């Protein structure tokens, strides 16, 4: 989150996901399990001539047709400003309204978006993008290379106060000086002509192009932003497949088809996000929404072939994310590695997974999730060992309970249960180690702000979800000493050295080895308490809904969705 963070509405546990801009609750087809490679040339895919202009139509039975809407339950996004996105809840809306030079497709490959092609020059340090001809914003204004330069520089300006500009754009020559208020523009972003943009980065980095799929690199309409002031996102002008038709906080968000979209217009007239709350399963059964996750309480019922809901049952692949409890290692008692290790070793994740979550969550002992590039199945991590946990606690600076600092674990929420897993873990620590913690709930937007400013002593109820399929998105962004995403202030010179080598290593297998070596150190030093990896899930999707894609990383999806009949 962004990397970002997002409210991961896991039907089993209420877990807000701190992800680098990860996806929301539903995710999809299997991703390529290879590290991201930088293509040397990419061209725009052909668009069917009959769909190139105007509203899409279908005149044969079973073919996509325009009309109607798709409805789902959602949460209020903390922001609709692409350059401020640090969470998946915001990301899920923003990717439908705005876009950038490149994006990820449903197979998580980098594909052209507003750029029709690009060349990689100067041994991988210069990217020259050619914009599509005649592309416009949703209000009809032309999109030019100058708009991209202004937008990326706007993301980095101190007054924008982006928490992720350095994370995703900091590789560009001159961007750091702009972020630090030492320059007025970015020398590494050059406008060659109206359709040609040149970006120079500080070293060849295999993952740089993937970073441009994140919203910090999205193009904005300058007049819209400057004339709208702080409330410009009330009526945003974008380049995505949809426009913002209505946003009533706590009630609803309506997205309408963008008829000035560069590609085939979306089929749906509208995407409706219900923000008013309610029981998702009941709303689905009442035909109020088109999709819902299946919670633990409903699994047996929907799996029954005689149950009508069984006809709507679909399998969804695991998200590329990891749920965890984070520690600020600058704040006592988490400044003691033995204390952190003791807390890790005292949590019986296998027991919690089987007894609380019916094995629907996979215990995590590392950082990189299964099937993700760089995942290490041989990593043992800090597995449950209560005797060793007690020994390490006795050797730590905080063995004496009477003088131990107060411990507060902050989780997102506004009342009710802070999350079963966090409560169970707190109980294990208290019962088995005599380590007592307070669980504090705060509203989601406040939680994100405090987390990004590194104000929290410890935090839970969250997940980090990948923004792009490269281990750099986890290991570098989250644990390198000098990154914005390192919210726990973890620092290790060996890890930093390994990450620095991996940044410019062009051999994929060697890069993976470097990240895996760094990951093992991070895990053994208990920078986090990794909790769960997502597993394949079940969801209900109305049979009227066609071409809804479940992906393992959040991508724009609604432009291809269509329905067979009106609601």
Closest Cα partner for 559 from 101, 136, 56? 56
3-state class (DSSP) for residue 24: coil
- pLDDT value of residue 277: 85
- Tokens representing residue 484 in the block: 């914005």
- Tokens representing residue 110 in the block: 């980098």
- pLDDT value of residue 18: 45
- Positive or negative, the Cα torsion across 323, 329, 331, 334? positive
pTM, 2 dp = 0.87
How big is the CA angle at 221 (ends 468 and 128), to the nearest 5 degrees? 50
Which architecture, in CATH terms, is 321-533?
Roll (3.10)
Distance between CA atoms of residues 279 and 465, nearest Å: 25
Summarize the chain as % helix, strand, coil (round to 5): 30, 20, 50
3-state class (DSSP) for residue 305: coil
pLDDT tens-digit profile of 475-510?
999 999 999 899 999 999 999 999 999 999 999 999
For the chain, what are the domain ranges?
321-533
- pLDDT value of residue 535: 85
Burial (CB < 10 A; 0-12, 13-18, 19+), residue 419, is: buried
How many C-beta neighbours within 10 Å does residue 481 have?
A: 13
**Ranges of the chain whose pLDDT falls below 70:** 1-62, 416, 566-567
């Amino acid at each position: 989150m962004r990397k970002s963070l997002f409210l991961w509405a896991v039907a089993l546990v209420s877990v807000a996901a701190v992800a680098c801009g990860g996806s929301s609750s539903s995710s999809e087809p299997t991703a390529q399990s290879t590290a991201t490679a930088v293509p040397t040339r990419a061209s725009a895919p052909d668009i069917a001539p009959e769909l190139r202009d105007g509203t899409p139509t279908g005149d044969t039975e079973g073919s996509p047709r325009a009309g109607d809407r798709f409805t789902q339950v959602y949460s209020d996004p903390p922001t609709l400003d692409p350059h401020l996105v640090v969470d998946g809840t915001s990301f899920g809306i923003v990717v439908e309204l705005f876009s950038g030079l490149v994006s990820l497709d449903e197979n998580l490959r980098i594909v052209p978006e507003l750029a029709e092609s690009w060349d990689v020059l100067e041994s991988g340090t210069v990217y020259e993008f050619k914009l599509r001809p005649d592309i416009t914003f949703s209000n009809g204004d032309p999109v030019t290379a100058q708009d991209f330069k202004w937008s990326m520089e706007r993301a980095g300006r101190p007054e924008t106060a982006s928490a992720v500009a350095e994370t995703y754009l900091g590789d560009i020559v001159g961007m750091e000086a702009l972020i630090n208020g030492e320059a007025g523009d970015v020398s590494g972003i050059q406008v060659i002509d109206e359709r040609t943009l040149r970006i120079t980065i500080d070293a060849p980095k295999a993952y740089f192009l993937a970073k441009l799929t994140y919203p910090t690199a999205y193009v904005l309409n300058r007049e819209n932003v400057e004339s709208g002031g702080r409330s410009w996102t009330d009526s945003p002008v974008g380049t995505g497949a949809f426009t913002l038709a209505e946003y009533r906080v706590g009630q609803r968000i309506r997205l309408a088809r963008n008829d000035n979209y560069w590609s085939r217009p979306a089929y749906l007239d509208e995407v409706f996000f219900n923000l008013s709350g309610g029981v998702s399963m009941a709303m689905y059964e009442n035909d109020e929404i088109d999709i819902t996750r299946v919670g633990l309480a409903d699994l047996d019922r929907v799996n029954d072939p005689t149950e009508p809901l069984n006809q709507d049952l679909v399998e969804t692949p695991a998200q590329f994310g990891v749920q965890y409890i984070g520690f600020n290692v600058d704040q006592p008692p988490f400044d003691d590695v033995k204390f952190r290790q003791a807390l890790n070793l005292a949590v019986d994740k296998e027991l919690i997974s089987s007894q609380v979550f019916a094995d629907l969550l996979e215990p995590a002992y590392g950082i990189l999730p299964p099937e993700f590039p760089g995942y290490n199945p041989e990593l043992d991590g800090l597995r449950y060992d209560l005797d060793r946990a007690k020994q390490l606690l006795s050797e730590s600076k905080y063995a004496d309970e009477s003088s131990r600092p107060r411990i507060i674990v902050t989780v997102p929420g506004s009342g009710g249960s802070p999350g079963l897993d966090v409560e169970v873990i707190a109980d294990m620590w208290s019962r088995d180690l005599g380590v007592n913690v307070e669980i504090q709930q705060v509203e989601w937007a406040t939680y994100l702000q405090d987390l990004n400013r590194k104000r929290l002593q410890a935090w839970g109820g969250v997940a980090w979800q990948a923004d792009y399929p490269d281990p750099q998105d986890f290991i570098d962004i989250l644990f390198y000493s000098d990154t914005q995403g390192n919210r726990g202030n973890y620092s290790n010179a060996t890890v930093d050295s390994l990450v620095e080598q991996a940044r410019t290593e062009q051999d994929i297998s060697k890069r993976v080895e470097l990240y895996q070596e760094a990951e093992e150190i991070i895990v053994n030093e208990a920078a986090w308490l990794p909790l769960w990896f997502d597993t394949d899930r079940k969801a209900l999707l109305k049979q009227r809904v066609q071409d809804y894609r479940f992906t393992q990383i959040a991508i724009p999806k609604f432009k291809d969705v269509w329905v067979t009949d009106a609601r």
